[in-house]
Structure 1
Amino acid sequence: MSEILFIAHRIPFPPDRGDKIRSHNVLKHLADLAPVHVATFADDALDYAEEGALAAVAASHCLVHRSKPLALAAAEAMVTGKPISLTAFHSRALADYIRTTLKTRPISTIYGFSGQMGQYVPQDFQGRVIADFVDVDSAKFEAYAKRDGGLKGWAENREARLLRAEEARFAGRADVSLLISDEEAALFRLRSGGAARVCTLPNGIDNQAFDPGEVRPEPQLAELPYPRLIFTGQMDYAPNVDACVRAVTRILPRIREAFPQASFHIVGRNPAERLSALASQGVHVWGRVPEVQPWLAASDLALVPLEIGRGVQNKVLEAMAMALPVVLTPEAATGIGARDGAQLSIASDDDALAAACIALLQDLPHARSMGRAAREYVVGHASWSAALADLTQLAGYAPMAARDVA
């Protein structure tokens, strides 16, 4: 009986951030096909608290504390000529577990979740290799470098260049490379030289967990005056931090010209110091919450003004599933496929984003209609069962038609 080795840069529990939501659902799907052995990292004590949940799904596992300081990872990267993204996730304990598992178990498929995990796939492995890049990470660092300039920009440009080479190497080693959207897959194919087989494996949403009819609004938020705007996500992730700073300093003041009591709510784990410093009357930094659904249910609108965005934004799908009208930038809307003006509202500059928010907040029937249409779209097009329909075949377990990107 064949088995699967699943290698991920973060433990897929709890599914409370974008990468964990995807890896969590992929792992569960693979575990339904065959015994799965999992090699992964824990960032903190909260991650370690999920080891029991991981053990319940995995046939065996190795959970390593990722404690290497960024400065040490950077020093190693400079000495070895590797991207920091690789040295930060290098562990001898994880490598030993993977080597032993491949020697002692009938592993037929290795699933590498994120480009950083390609370093653990042996060149002499004879089975099937799946590289789930999710999105084009090197392109994100290129965008950072153009934005920042100076020494920081030089470091980001170095990371982009070396990571792009590593992405191409891992893609060349893999039987198939997975990206989260057709747009990301097309970009990856172009950047990797076109030799690798690239497929789209989209993200999904748990429509039952994100059902506005089954969720009680969070009282702390619901009791505040109308209108309440929300942004959710991993709040030490640079694009999210930048988006929230933009919302608070450049967009919210414009909205308050029409709605003086408008408030903006930042909901998500590990808020950066830049965000904590923004907390004031009308700007709330809530940090990590047990579940995001009650906070979405208590909000009137989701504002997602990302300037750098890769792949599909789970925060957008979750807000749409909760029938919440969403105002967002084109970067945040990439890969979702919903119609502007019907299922969400897309705008680019600050004035346009503020105007779109004000228009929806002043026209509640239209806002509610957009929210209903958003949920209908997500239920019909973005369930996890639909998103992972091709994964069984891609993992080598059944003949099903995969979505190749030309």
Structure 2
Amino acid sequence: MEILMVLPYPPSPIRVRPYGLLQALAQRGHRVRVLAVQPPEDRWADPGPLRDLGVEIRLFPLSRPRTLWNALRAWARGEPLQAGYADHPGLREALWQALHERWEVVHVEHLRGVGFAQEVPPERLVFDAVDSITRLFAQARALAPGRLTRWLAALELPRTRRLEASWLSRFPRVLVTSAEDAAALRRLAPEGSAQVVVLPNGVDLEFFRPQPIPRDPATLVFTGKMSYHANVAAALDLIQQIMPRIWARRPEVRLQIVGRNPPALLRRAARDPRIQIVGAVPDLRPYLARATLAVCPLRYAVGIQNKVLEAMAMATPAVVTPPVLGGLQAVPGRDLAVAEVPEAFAEAVLALLGQPAARRAMGEAGRAYVEAHHRWEALAERLEAVYRCPA
């Protein structure tokens, strides 16, 4: 097939969904061209590996002043700030020219790309919403750390709700990562005529795989982009509510928090020397490979948590909260451990720390689960069916 993909950020191992799908589509013999905005936070992204697979990639750098101007213009139009964040006249021109070529499908991703999607004839468009941002803001308004984050979520919520509700009548084919997000969109527009298709995220099973190195006896790891408010809330819950309960019985347990841009409030909270705020790393695998357990106590979540898929792929047993199960078919107690409140979460961690055989069995089951349900090649095959389905 001839596939044109339009993205509000460059595909990269951090932007794992388009990166994984593009790899699989190219390996399956499709001709793919990518038009992508490159905002300041993605300046480091290297498209080389995708280009080596034959993917054509054009990047359109976006300055910080331009992103702020774009967001203000979106606000003046009554739209969410994110809806205008990635607008770029050069990409719009390239898209307009490409629409005169013989691309069979135009795949546009994310709320930040919705302005580009509106330029595409509906019969050629597949819009990948990824998650319901309305659902995210509704949770963040009540549960996010810090008054400013909660206030911004409340401010953006009605604008985001109106915009997402319009998608099911304007875009004939809409993708999301989880059934929960599909249901959330349907509730916004119950009369909408769009096909809403659940296409989960995958994991690179060759890159994230078990490694033949010994695990630490008592190290927990929490990974993710630490500038994201849901991850900050989870990290604070770990530091302030969960770890003290664990230390009361296992004072030797250490916690590593690994991910880009940890805020100052997180560093201030992590005063205990048994907590290490690692920040950005070139490769997560050594941390996941050495950890005794991966922990992910999210208060709220949308879509699929890639951090958990990556840990499971490396056979690192994971302890998570119920919101993390969204979009997964994993079996609690077999593929991963699930606990809701801090007391129960600490107990689940302590139980696994004391049972090496149970940890090994859960790690092996987690690896088997992602092999069965989250291979990029299988997900690309499902995406091809969406592309071929008449709009």
Q: TM-score, normalised by structure 1?
A: 0.87
Per-residue CA deviation, residues 207-249 of structure 1 (Å, 9 max, x unaligned), is: 2222214x657xxxx6xx7310001111111101110111011
Residue aligning to 2:237 = 246
In structure 2, the CA distance between the partners of 1:81 and 1:337, relative to structure 1 (3 Å rule), is same
In structure 2, the CA distance between the partners of 1:60 and 1:100, relative to structure 1 (3 Å rule), is farther
1:158: Cα distance to partner?
3.4
What is the rounded CA distance, in whole Å, between the counterparts of 1:251 and 1:241 in structure 2?
A: 14
Residue aligning to 1:135 = 131
TM-align CA RMSD: 2.5
Equivalent residue runs for 1:62-101 within 5 Å: 62-68=59-65, 72-101=69-98
1:72: Cα distance to partner?
4.1
Moved more, 321-330 or 384-393: 384-393
Tell me, yes or no, if structure 1 residue 330 matches structure 2 residue 327: no
What is the rounded CA distance, in whole Å, between the counterparts of 2:86 and 2:312 in structure 1?
A: 34
In structure 2, the CA distance between the partners of 1:33 and 1:354, relative to structure 1 (3 Å rule), is same
- Give the secondary structure class of the aligned counterpart of 1:390: helix
In structure 2, the CA distance between the partners of 1:347 and 1:325, relative to structure 1 (3 Å rule), is same
Give the alignment partner of residue 108 of structure 2, picking from 92, 112, 123.
Answer: 112
What is the rounded CA distance, in whole Å, between the counterparts of 2:159 and 2:317 in structure 1?
A: 40
Per-residue CA deviation, residues 264-305 of structure 1 (Å, 9 max, x unaligned), is: 101112222222334440111112222211110100011100
- Would you say the 8 A contact 2:37–2:88 is kept in 1? no
In structure 2, the CA distance between the partners of 1:54 and 1:389, relative to structure 1 (3 Å rule), is closer
1:183: Cα distance to partner?
2.3
Moved more, 274-283 or 253-262: 274-283
Give the alignment partner of residue 37 of structure 1, picking from 28, 33, 37.
Answer: 33
Instruction: Give the counterpart letter for 2:7 in structure 1.
Output: A
What is the rounded CA distance, in whole Å, between the counterparts of 2:305 and 2:124 in structure 1?
A: 29
Identical counterparts, % of pairs: 31
1:320: Cα distance to partner?
1.2
What is the rounded CA distance, in whole Å, between the counterparts of 1:235 and 1:61 in structure 2?
A: 29
Q: TM-score, normalised by structure 2?
A: 0.90
- Give the secondary structure class of the aligned counterpart of 2:36: strand
Residue aligning to 2:338 = 346
Tell me, yes or no, if structure 1 residue 260 matches structure 2 residue 251: yes
Gaps of 5+ in 2: none
Residue aligning to 1:404 = none
Tell me, yes or no, if structure 1 residue 229 matches structure 2 residue 224: no
1:314: Cα distance to partner?
0.9
What is the rounded CA distance, in whole Å, between the counterparts of 1:226 and 1:159 in structure 2?
A: 44
Residue aligning to 1:403 = none
Equivalent residue runs for 1:365-384 within 5 Å: 365-384=357-376
Residue aligning to 1:205 = 203
Gaps of 5+ in 1: 400-406
Residue aligning to 1:274 = 265
